[in-house]
Amino acid sequence: MARPRKAPPEELPDALALRRRIPVQEAAAILGIHEDTFRKHYSGLIRKIGPRLERVELGEVFAIGK
């Protein structure tokens, strides 16, 4: 029997919120570019978590815009 999931905290401190990992597609949407363009130009930011799971840290995405 599966255990019920814990509800995520309402708010995270800023330091933790910026370290949150988001999907590549979501990171590209934040920057307003296509996912393929993000992968081409910012491939160094993409971390491989599992065999088919790739994530980007939110703080790194915001740092691109500056």
Distance CA 57, CA 4 (A): 27
Closest CA to 26 of 61, 65, 51: 61
Torsion of CA 29, 37, 57, 64, to 10 degrees: -90
Question: For residue 10, what are the β-bridge partners?
Answer: none
Tens-binned pLDDT, residue by residue, of the chain (66 aa): 677 877 766 787 888 888 999 999 999 999 999 999 999 999 999 999 999 999 999 999 999 976
Amino acid occupying residue 49: I
Cβ(18)–Cβ(27) below 8 Å = no
pLDDT score of 8: 66
Which residue has tokens 């363009």?
Answer: 37
